[in-house]
Each structure stands twice: as structure tokens, then as C-alpha cells.
Structure 1
Amino acid sequence: MAIFPGAHVVGMANLRPASLVASTRYDATMHSLQTTSPARSLNNDASYLSATMVPSSSLDTATMTPGLRSDGMLQSAGYLGPTSFISELEESHGLTHSTDEQPHGRADTATIQPWWTQRVTKALGLLHEFPVMKQLVQNYYSLNQSAAIPAPLIVDTLAELETTYNEKLYENISNEQTSALAVLAMKNTQKTFTIPPAVDGAHFSKLFTGSSIRLEIIGLIYTLAGRASYYGLSYPSSSTISGCDAEFPRKMLTASDTIIQLCKMLTPTNDLTMWLIQENLLLSSVIFGYSSSETWHRLGGLATTIFELGLHRDNGSSSLPEFLLETRRRLFAASYHYDKSFATFLGRPPLISRRHSDCPLPLDISDDTLVYSRNVIEVTRSSLTGEGWSSQPLFQRAAWIRLRYIISSYREEILELSLQKPGPERLTKLRDVSHRCNQAWNSLPEHLRYIDSCWDTDLPGSVKMMLIVSYLTYRYNGFLVERIIVKDYADARNDLLSISGSILTTVLTFGRQNVRSFDMQRDFIWTLLLFGFASASVLIRELQKEVRTKQPIPYPGSRATLIRNLSVFISHLESMARPGTAGSSFFSRATEVFSHIISEVLEPDPVQQDTNPEINTGLDASMLENIDGIGLLDYANIPNIFDQMLFQL
């Protein structure tokens, strides 16, 4: 998935009338595809589609503008905001459709090309492992605390797909059968995905499964299964896939990529497309890493899909069923959180701006209530607080989505302030956002706020993990604020050292847990690097400065405890440096660097005889640059570190 060159997503005020461009580019592509060799692969879709574009002047009007038909103007426009070129006329003359309405399929008059069928048949050939996918997805939803798509919608879909699998593929999974299913799915995908206002959640899956099966939903199941497989969830004993098949997630990603590209040509953006694109992004992030170009482009695709569907704007007059409106709000809030995580990690501007959004937070209700209640608002009115939280101490997916969004909203402010000029005004704003972030955290329902004693309770391991990771994410906001302040005012280190020590202690608490219900190793590695590495780097460099300058650091806690914690942190790095472990090369180098510094702290005299000691460890000189900056500990290097590690996972 790629972003059009120069199309920076910074909020609705900057949206261009993309519908005309997209419509013209689409039909130019369709015109050229009809004369293209079927041997072309969608794997090179971006360069291929660009190369096969024909000038719009060579197309007749009917071919170039299918949206300008007698049934309404600009029917493929998607959401158009109040500054759009047509906003003055659309309300009174109905020149555009509501975002609740779905335009006609983009390929209504196009013939399905043989090579499309070949590509989809190959992608759908992976359905021979549907029983594996079903169990993986079920396991994933049984453990995942923050999935944006409500569980019943996925569970019902799996049941419908299982019926299709048993009827069409179980006994005779020949290429002919798969090809027939591919043709059916493509023909259905060509049709407009219409959502009747009266449909309820219990019957929603009927719209895109069975005889109405669509490509989007197959791609969605692929991405969910791929991510579940990557996280080490178990396969059924009947599976032909080995538990260590590292290629399975990549196969799922490739197949879902193919489906996304076909859907772009076959049908307008719809809710199913949104689901697929979001999960495709998440699968890409665990395979390629957060800093990969592939993942970044997918994030851009997710943002533009949100804007095209209008998920960022609250539509009080929507005719969509309530369960789908709430699901959209969950998807938007979750995507907003992902966007801020990527922006922080890469040091890039966020793509989804809160200033240009007024989508309300989703209600803190259970998935079952959301999907199976006829009137969600009335049913839940008495069970929610005025702020939309559950009045009972329940751990529900919507609660985590709400919590993450709230934390991320302050992260957006911090990211903006990091780009402003240093000075008293920025300092005041940083202190203010830090204060408001703390207030917001303290106003959360008590059961959602992490405390160390949660590890002694009988809460599910997945809940405990969400509690500690959410807390660390909140604390990391404070860390970022203090780090910006220290860059401007070098003497203002007290708060940075205090919060760094707190984060490191919390990370090490996580590392001491042994939750057997699911594999926490990868989660701990991510936590160690995302939160522990940055805080430990600050602390160990301060200790090194203390030894070399003979000036005590303003650390509020026990120096002995700090050194012990850093030693434990180093032991975690060392345990991850075993041969055969993903990222072992990095962890080995990191262990040596941290160990050298802690040795210098504990035994300063021999080391300080030479202000620039050579270390006979085979380390690059750049890894120990000077007292102010150690190459390995440079936060800017962490994205590359992640990529090196994740590529091997």
C-alpha cells in the first residue's frame, strides 16, 4: 500500500478533492488493465500501475467519469468536509451521497480479468488451512484485551466461513473449486457493500459471507491468523503447519496485500476495507518493524481510509446501525493510538490530528452488548458513568481503547511541543501538558490504573499485561516531557532521573512475572526496549558522569538500588544475547556497553586513569563516543535496532 507522492495527511482542512483524481486514475488504470498481460503480478502493483497509466485525454468522457452518471454526481467521493469545493451545494442539491451511503462498485462495467482470477485463486488457496486459521483467531480473541473489531463479529464470521469451507473446499480442494470460489468472491466484491439501517449485529456477517462472500473478509481473517501465529499461539494437532513456521505470517500478509489491491480496483472503500487495512498494518508492523517503509506506507493508507469514510467526524444523524457506529468509534480511537505510537517511535509528524477530529470515544461496554443489543444506548444508559465508563470494575476491550486514546491525545501535544523553539513559553506548555496528563490518569476508573499488587491477584495474565503496559505508556509521556526540558535546561535533571528510575523499576517488575497462560517473552522484549532501554540509558549515563566529574547526580532514590536495578537490566540483555535468539547480535553489543559502564561506576579509579579507555571487547569505537553520548544508547538508533531484531523473529 502506498501514499500518493506529496499527499501529506494533516487533517481534513488540507484534504484535496481526491475523489476526482482517484476516479480518473482508477478508470485510466482499468482501461489499461484490459490490454495487459495476465502474467503481471500484483506484487509490483505500485510501479506497474504507474507504468500502465494512460493520459486522461485519451479516454472518452463516459469511461473517465463513471461517477457523473444520472444517479448522482461524485458518487465515489467518500467524505467531503466543510471546506470542500462542493460544500455550498451538496446540502441543498444533493450532489454527493452521505458517507453512510455506498457508491456503485468501481468496476461495475469492467470484466473480471483472467489474471485477477489467477491471483485471487492463489490467495484463496491458503484456505485449505482454514481450521488452523479459525483456531488461531479464536485463541487470539480469547487473550487479546484491545482488539478494535468486536469479538462476536469475528466469531460469527468464522462460523459462516467454516460452513463455506465445508461445503466447497473440505472434501474437494481442487484448483477448480478454489477458482470458482474466487470468481464468486470477486463478483460479490464488485457489488456495493450495502448496510441496511435495520440490520443488527447478530446478522451482520450474513452480508459478506456464504453466497455473499467478499474478498475483504477473507483478507481480514488472514491478517488476524497471521498475527496470532506470529505471537506464538498454538496450532491444532491436525495442522500441516509446524509451530515454528516463520513463513506463515508472511504468507498471510502477502495474500492480504493481494486482496487489498484487488478491492481497491473492484469496490469503493467501506467498513470491511477499513477493518482489513488496519489489521494489515498491525501484521506488517510485527513482520517488518515499526520503522520499515512498508509499515509507514500502510499507516498512511489507514489514515486516508479513515478520512475517506469520515470516521474522524461525528455524524449524529447517521442512518448506520448503532453497533456499527460504535465499532467505527473503536476503530478510530485505536488507529489514533497507533498513529501516535508510530509518530513517537519514528520522530515523524502524526497523520491523524485530534484538532481536525470530533469523533466521540466509544462507550465502555462489552462486545456482546454492543453486537447483540437492539438499542445499545438505551440498554447501557444505566450501566455507564457520565463520561462513558462502565460503572462496574470490568476489564473490557472498549475500556483499553478509551484509555489508550486518552494517553495518546497528550502524546500528540508533546510531539507538537518537541518541534517548537526552546524557551520559557515552551517550558510552560510542557509543564501544563504534563500536569493535565497526570490529572487525566488519576481520573481514570481505579481498576484500570496499574498497581504493583495486581500481580498477586487472580486477574488474567493478559489483563495484568495491559495494566502495566498502559501505565508505562502514560509514564513515558512524562519521560518525553522531561527529556525535552533537559535539552533546554541541562540542570533540570531531577524529574527526568526520577521518572526514569520509576519506569526502569516497573519494567523489571514485569520481567519478574511468570504468566503461563500465554507467551509473554515477546511482550517483555518490546517493553524492555521501548520503555526500559530509554530510561536505563539516561540513568547509566548520569552515573558515568557522576564518576568522571565527581559531581553527585540529583537522583532522589537509593544509589545502591539504582545500580542493582541496572545490573538486573543488564542480565536481561545478556539472557537475550544467547546464540539463536532474535536480535542476539544487538543484545550482545548492548550487554558489553552497559557492563563496561557499570564496571566503571563500581570501580572508577582503574578506568579513570585513561579518559578514553580502549575496551578489548571487539566493540566499535563509535559505540562509546564520549561522556555525553554513547552511540548504542542514542535513542535515534532504536528504530534500526527494532528492525534488525524483528526481521529475525
Structure 2
Amino acid sequence: MATRAKRLPASGLPFKRAIEEPGASSSSPLDLEPDETNNIGYDSSSAVSSTINTASLRPQTVQYPNPGYLGSSSHTTLFDQLRRDRSPQVTEAIAEPEKAPSPQRDYINDTSVSSGANLILELHRLSKIPAFIQLYQSWSATGTNLALAGPFIDACASTVESVMSLCDGSLSRATALSQNLFNCSSRPIIVEPNTSFDEYCKSLGGGNARWETLGLFFVAVCRAAVDLPFAEPLYNSEQERRKFQRLTLRYSDHCLEQCLPLDCMNDLQLFLQYENFISHSQIDGDQSYQSWRKLGDVISSLFALGYHQQQTESFNAAPDFLRDLRRLAFCRTYSADKNVSIFLGRPPRITRRFCRFFLPGNHLQPSEEASRKPQIWDPSQGPSFITDSRWAALCGIMKEDILGLLSQQDHEEKLRQGLILQEDIQEQWEAVPEQYRLQGSLKGYSRRPVERDFMLNMKLNYLHVKFLLRLTLQHSASDPDPQLLAISIDLLSLVVEAVMLKDQLINSGTSLVWKVAYYGLSAAGVICLRLVNQSSSLTFPQANISKVFQDLSILVAEIERGTLVYVDSPNYALLARATQIIKSLLDRVISSSFKTGTIVEPQQQTAENAEQWSALNDTNLGLWDNSGLQDFETNFWLNLADHPFLAEPVTR
């Protein structure tokens, strides 16, 4: 029997059904329409009284979970198909299901409303919303913004200002405002195919203010504080800035936690989850469990909304701007899933063979499913979040296929597939318009700082895909071949140039610290392995040796001076440990432990170290076991520190 996935409504916003118990009232005094008393400019004194006096009169409801997207294997989809396909002979045999009651507003308990009121009162006491808005505006004036929710933040800022202007500091008024936010957040966001962007924004502000609206504003302010070192009167020192970042991230967390229990999935909530994840990775660190879990939440919401199946009728019924934002959300999350998995050495959670997704942006031909086939780009578009996301998704596809090579036991077959991948990588890169491709030095491009960062992201991603492929095809983990070494040198050089020109770049979605930790340390790790390996018969390329030592020295100096990360920064431990090992290696270079282009073998090697490194040389590269070196995290640098060459005393 043919089956098909159960479709979401055009808005993509399924919501739970609340079935009233017998005898319950069909309406509630709290069911206020946004065009009436819930308008953000209304005199809420009567509503406050109604909220307090009628709290005990709320109808008791039975809540059923929001199923979200249901695929073809779901029994619900099968029974729906049976009703659609039944023949006249069996029509009478199958009873028509009872009509479900119309959706009711989700039950919102007093504890949640009180928690929201406390947040509103805290913001009122702080009296810094105008300063928050000014900080965001200063940041957005640099040309950057939130990757997904950026188009909405101006409207969110106006809404937050309006909501807070209604708070007089009393608990009753704060409770009424909190109740209103919950009421609106529990309603689906209705969109039609012809809904305009301005109409969509109006449905999120004014009397329709939602917790998602506030959450997006606070995460934007948090991101601004990450990028701007000074913003008086909010902060004027690094310690105050770190404290302010955590404060605004806590506000964003609070708003998100108010939305999720309502079980009313929607696009705005998805955007908030993604931006909240990015901020947690920057504030808590890229290795933190908190950011890892937040990424998992984003992926779960993508699947529950059905955005991994973008060929469905409901997905394509959305207005163009919203459909592109959904595609953007999937592309960026898909890319983040691959990058974080590689960085942490854990399995990815989105598998392409279970997804059908398309790239955002203008298409010069009918939209094609994202694949390794070279894409056709619109050369009239400049570097932007859309072009950055398109390229990130394409690189994510190739990274997923590279990871798949790790399970290939036949080396000849692995090599054959790897060569095909190598050709595909190059064809994809050459299909990118020249105005996006970074061909020379960063300082040679006269562009806005944010556009430079977009171009930097694309080039780093391209080099990293090539890096991973060559690393996967290696016979020995500790003996990189000339191709891998050359790619590593280019990758490290580009990262170091970005560090040196950091004042001429603006964070376009991935921070400079992430670029150093993810790309720079990977490249430096391969170079260090090559330098300390005694068994290699290959000489280090003389043309690059001075440039390599210069780049490694600059990286060490920037980290040690604290211009890149501070001691209390979450990624400091990883970077500092790597710096110590690199510095130790450079000391041996300066002390002439090297002959011309080759490494002098150490006179002694303990049996324990010899056994360790013999096992390392023979290991098969595997990302998901303890021998995997692709992540180049703390354990890699700890193991490298025990290498017998680095254990030698330095002779001068």
C-alpha cells in the first residue's frame, strides 16, 4: 500500500489538542485576543484583576503531545492513508472517527507565569533595556547580525522596549504581562503562501509579543557583547563583559525554557534554539556538554518540524522568505553537526540519506537537491549569510562522505572513493564565483570586515575538507604525506593571518577562537607530528620551513599574551596546552636539535614511549575511537607531550 508522510499545515506549526473534561467551560476569561485587551498598548489594570481573580476558574484539560512531523512508517500516517484510499465497499465498515475538538489554549500553570513575572521585574529593576538596544545597534552597524534571526531583531528590540515600558514595577502588572506572553506563545504563528515579511513581523510584536521575541533579542545582545570589547555603561572591562555575556545568555535561556513546555513548535522557536546554541558554544566553550546538548535540541526540532524533508507540500506552501529561512536553518545546523562531531570525535546526528534538503538563496535554475554535484551560483549576490550557509552545507555533505570512508576496510576501495571525492571537492570550489573565493592574502581584499570573514570561512572550510580527506587516506597517523603537509601549512597560514588581522574582521557566525581551535590546531597538530617523527624518510620542505616556524611562533605568542583568549575563557585550557607543546618544539628548533630539513633522532627512547609511538604509527584512523587524531583536542597534545623527542633536555 502506498504511503506518504503526514503533512504539516502551511505554517509548519502543529499544535497540541486540548480536550476539555465533561462540564468544563468552553472558554476562559484569559482567552484574550491580541487585537483587544492583549494589545501591547492597552490599559492592563482590568486584565490584571481578571488574571488574579479568575486563575482558579481555568478549565481543566487533558493535554495530548504535539506529534509534529510524522513520516511514512508512522502508524498514524498508515491509518490516514487507509481512510483516504478506502473503497466504497468498505466505507460503511470503517467508522468515521469522531471530530476532534478545536484546539484550546495550552494549559499554563501559575508557577510558569510567576517565573516569567520575576524575569520582567528583574529587567525593570535593571533599567538597562535602552542600553541593551544601543549595544545591539552598534553591533549590527558593523554589518553582522544573527545568522538566522537577524532579519527579526529590529522588530524584537522594539517589542521588548514596548513590553517593558508597560511594567510599573508591581507584581500584578508583571504577572499580567507574563500571562500575555504565555497566551501569545501558545498560539501557532499562522502564515499563508502570500504572507509578506512585514506581515510576519507584525504577528510577532505589539499585542502578539511572545517569549520567543524576547529570547531572540537577548541572544542578539549577548552576541554583541561577545564581539564588542567595550560598551559603557554596560561593561568597561573584560571581567564585566564576561559577566554581562552570561547575564544576557541567562535571559535568553529563561525565555526559551518558557516556550518549550508549551509544546507549540514554530519557526521562531527553532531560530531561537539555534542562536541560543551558538551563544552557548561561545560562552560555555566548544567542548562543553551544554553546547553539545543544545545542538541536539536544534536537530530534534528540525526533525519534529519536518524540515529534513523539504519536498513536502506543506514545506513548499510557505512564503518564499520563510522557506529560505527554513533551508538556511537546516544548512547551518547540518554543517554544525558535522563540524562539532569532528571536533569532539563523536558520531554525527544528521545523516543525509534520511534527508532531502535544498540550498537557500536565488537559483538560476530550478532548485536541486543538495548534493556533491557542482552547484550553480548567482554571481550577482555578494558574500552573505546565505552564500556562507550554502557553502557550509556543501562542505558538510563532503565531510559526511569522508567520515564514511573510515568504515571502509579495503584500502584500495577507500583510495578509489577518495580520489572521486577529491575531484568533487575541487569542482565544487571552482563552481563558486570568484568574488566569493579567497585566492590570495586577506589583506589584499578591499571589502567590508564582515565580507572578509565570509570569504575566510569559505576558504577555511574548503581547505579543511581537503585536509580531512588526505588525513583519512593516510596509512600512518604520525607520518603525514607531502600533500597533507602542504594543506596543513596553507590552513595554518590562513588562520594565523586571520589572527593578525582580527581588527579587520567581524564575526560572521563563527568566532576567531573557533577558527583557531578547529582549523588552526588541526593543521598545527599534523605539522608537529611531522616534525617530531623520527622514522620519516621525507625531508621537511625547505621553501616552507621558515614560514611554518613563523606561523607557529605567532600562534604561540597571541595565545600567551592573552590577545586571543583570556585565562577564564572556556577554550583556554585546550589552546594553552597546545601552545606549551608547540613552544617546546620551537625551543628544540632554535637550539639546533634539527639538522638541515631533517630531525635528529633522540639518543634514547624509553620502552614505554617506543611502544606508545609504535602503536600510533600502526593505527588506523578512526574518528569515533580513542585513537582518532582528527579532533586534535587536549588528549592529542597530552600524548604528543610524552613523545621521546620532546622529553629530551634542550641543548643550547
TM-score category (smaller protein): 0.7 to 0.9
Out of 547, 554, 561, the position equivalent to 1:575 is 561
Q: Structure 1: which amino acid aligns with 2:527?
A: L
Equivalent in the alignment of 1:210: 206
Instruction: Report the alpha carbon displacement of residue 267 of structure 1 after superposing the two structures with TM.
Output: 4.0
Q: Which digits, 9 at most, give the CA deviation of each residue in 1:574-607, with x for residues without a partner?
A: 4349985746666555444323323334512898
Are the counterparts in 1 of residues 142 and 450 from structure 2 also a CA contact under 8 Å? yes
Out of 88, 109, 128, the position equivalent to 2:78 is 88
Instruction: Report the alpha carbon displacement of residue 208 of structure 1 after superposing the two structures with TM.
Output: 2.1
Alignment pair present for 1:300 and 2:296: yes
Alignment pair present for 1:257 and 2:243: no
Equivalent in the alignment of 1:563: 549
Q: Structure 1: which amino acid aligns with 2:180?
A: L
Please give the alpha-carbon distance, in whole angstroms, between the structure 1 residues aligned to 2:434 and 2:347: 33
Alignment pair present for 1:184 and 2:180: yes
Equivalent in the alignment of 2:345: 347
Equivalent in the alignment of 1:381: none
Out of 217, 227, 233, the position equivalent to 2:223 is 227
Are the counterparts in 2 of residues 540 and 598 from structure 1 also a CA contact under 8 Å? no
Alignment pair present for 1:162 and 2:161: yes
Are the counterparts in 2 of residues 140 and 233 from structure 1 also a CA contact under 8 Å? no
Equivalent in the alignment of 1:395: 383
More helix by share: 1
SS of corresponding position for 2:241: coil
Alignment pair present for 1:120 and 2:116: yes
Change in CA separation of 1:233 and 1:270 when aligned onto 2, cut-off 3 Å: farther
SS of corresponding position for 1:257: helix
Instruction: Report the alpha carbon displacement of residue 304 of structure 1 after superposing the two structures with TM.
Output: 1.2
Structure 2 portions without partners, runs of 5+: 6-14, 21-59, 86-99, 367-373, 618-625, 638-652
Equivalent in the alignment of 2:67: 77
Q: Structure 2: which amino acid aligns with 1:136?
A: L
Instruction: Report the alpha carbon displacement of residue 274 of structure 1 after superposing the two structures with TM.
Output: 0.8
Q: Which digits, 9 at most, give the CA deviation of each residue in 1:398-420, with x for residues without a partner?
A: 11111111111111111222243
Alignment pair present for 1:289 and 2:313: no
Are the counterparts in 2 of residues 508 and 569 from structure 1 also a CA contact under 8 Å? yes
Change in CA separation of 1:121 and 1:242 when aligned onto 2, cut-off 3 Å: farther
Change in CA separation of 1:533 and 1:80 when aligned onto 2, cut-off 3 Å: same
Alignment of 1:237-636 (within 5 A): 237=232, 239=234, 244-315=240-311, 317-318=313-314, 319-364=317-362, 389-421=377-409, 423-487=411-475, 493-513=481-501, 515-516=503-504, 523-545=511-533, 548-549=534-535, 551-553=537-539, 555=541, 557-576=543-562, 582=569, 589-602=577-590, 603-604=592-593, 610-612=603-605, 636=631
Instruction: Report the alpha carbon displacement of residue 308 of structure 1 after superposing the two structures with TM.
Output: 1.1
Please give the alpha-carbon distance, in whole angstroms, between the structure 2 residues aligned to 1:25 and 1:601: 72
Change in CA separation of 1:437 and 1:516 when aligned onto 2, cut-off 3 Å: closer
Instruction: Report the alpha carbon displacement of residue 355 of structure 1 after superposing the two structures with TM.
Output: 1.8
Q: Which digits, 9 at most, give the CA deviation of each residue in 1:49-91, with x for residues without a partner?
A: xxxxxxxxxxxxx965647xxxxxxxx3221122222333435
Q: Structure 2: which amino acid aligns with 1:571?
A: A
Equivalent in the alignment of 1:148: 147
Instruction: Report the alpha carbon displacement of residue 331 of structure 1 after superposing the two structures with TM.
Output: 1.2
Alignment pair present for 1:201 and 2:191: no
Q: Structure 1: which amino acid aligns with 2:275?
A: E
Select the structure of larger CA radius of gyration.
2
Please give the alpha-carbon distance, in whole angstroms, between the structure 2 residues aligned to 1:550 and 1:317: 58
Instruction: Report the alpha carbon displacement of residue 361 of structure 1 after superposing the two structures with TM.
Output: 0.8
Q: Structure 2: which amino acid aligns with 1:297?
A: R
Please give the alpha-carbon distance, in whole angstroms, between the structure 2 residues aligned to 1:106 and 1:626: 65
SS of corresponding position for 1:452: coil
Please give the alpha-carbon distance, in whole angstroms, between the structure 2 residues aligned to 1:400 and 1:543: 35
Q: Which digits, 9 at most, give the CA deviation of each residue in 1:426-485, with x for residues without a partner?
A: 222222222211210111111111122442333011211221232112111111111121
Change in CA separation of 1:562 and 1:188 when aligned onto 2, cut-off 3 Å: closer
Instruction: Report the alpha carbon displacement of residue 193 of structure 1 after superposing the two structures with TM.
Output: 2.9
Are the counterparts in 1 of residues 18 and 64 from structure 2 also a CA contact under 8 Å? no
Are the counterparts in 2 of residues 148 and 327 from structure 1 also a CA contact under 8 Å? no
Instruction: Report the alpha carbon displacement of residue 635 of structure 1 after superposing the two structures with TM.
Output: 5.6
Change in CA separation of 1:113 and 1:240 when aligned onto 2, cut-off 3 Å: farther
SS of corresponding position for 1:450: coil
SS of corresponding position for 1:507: helix
Q: Structure 1: which amino acid aligns with 2:105?
A: D
Q: Which digits, 9 at most, give the CA deviation of each residue in 1:478-504, with x for residues without a partner?
A: 111111211469877121111111112
Please give the alpha-carbon distance, in whole angstroms, between the structure 1 residues aligned to 2:18 and 2:471: 46
Structure 1 portions without partners, runs of 5+: 1-11, 14-21, 28-61, 68-75, 96-102, 366-375, 379-385, 614-620, 643-649
Are the counterparts in 1 of residues 70 and 77 from structure 2 also a CA contact under 8 Å? yes
Change in CA separation of 1:569 and 1:294 when aligned onto 2, cut-off 3 Å: closer
Q: Which digits, 9 at most, give the CA deviation of each residue in 1:163-202, with x for residues without a partner?
A: 3333x14xx3444432221111112223333234443111
Change in CA separation of 1:233 and 1:162 when aligned onto 2, cut-off 3 Å: farther
Instruction: Report the alpha carbon displacement of residue 241 of structure 1 after superposing the two structures with TM.
Output: 8.6
Q: Structure 1: which amino acid aligns with 2:279?
A: L
Change in CA separation of 1:349 and 1:463 when aligned onto 2, cut-off 3 Å: same
Please give the alpha-carbon distance, in whole angstroms, between the structure 1 residues aligned to 2:477 and 2:543: 22
SS of corresponding position for 1:515: helix
Q: Which digits, 9 at most, give the CA deviation of each residue in 1:524-572, with x for residues without a partner?
A: 4332222222212222332233xx4584436484434433443344333
Equivalent in the alignment of 2:9: none
Please give the alpha-carbon distance, in whole angstroms, between the structure 2 residues aligned to 1:316 and 1:609: 64
Change in CA separation of 1:322 and 1:93 when aligned onto 2, cut-off 3 Å: farther
Are the counterparts in 1 of residues 328 and 386 from structure 2 also a CA contact under 8 Å? yes
Are the counterparts in 1 of residues 383 and 454 from structure 2 also a CA contact under 8 Å? no
Change in CA separation of 1:241 and 1:611 when aligned onto 2, cut-off 3 Å: same
Are the counterparts in 2 of residues 543 and 553 from structure 1 also a CA contact under 8 Å? no
Q: Structure 2: which amino acid aligns with 1:156?
A: A
Q: Structure 2: which amino acid aligns with 1:314?
A: Q
Change in CA separation of 1:122 and 1:456 when aligned onto 2, cut-off 3 Å: same
Change in CA separation of 1:418 and 1:549 when aligned onto 2, cut-off 3 Å: closer
Change in CA separation of 1:358 and 1:551 when aligned onto 2, cut-off 3 Å: closer
SS of corresponding position for 1:116: helix
Please give the alpha-carbon distance, in whole angstroms, between the structure 2 residues aligned to 1:584 and 1:332: 30
Equivalent in the alignment of 1:30: none
Between 1:305-314 and 1:492-501, the stretch displaced more is 492-501
Q: Structure 2: which amino acid aligns with 1:500?
A: S
Please give the alpha-carbon distance, in whole angstroms, between the structure 1 residues aligned to 2:383 and 2:452: 10
Q: Which digits, 9 at most, give the CA deviation of each residue in 1:345-396, with x for residues without a partner?
A: 112222222222222111149xxxxxxxxxx999xxxxxxx95633315223
Q: Structure 1: which amino acid aligns with 2:604?
A: T
Are the counterparts in 1 of residues 159 and 213 from structure 2 also a CA contact under 8 Å? no
Change in CA separation of 1:580 and 1:189 when aligned onto 2, cut-off 3 Å: closer
What is the root-mean-square deviation of aligned Cα atoms in Å? Answer: 4.2
SS of corresponding position for 1:199: coil
Please give the alpha-carbon distance, in whole angstroms, between the structure 1 residues aligned to 2:236 and 2:467: 43
Q: Structure 2: which amino acid aligns with 1:154?
A: I
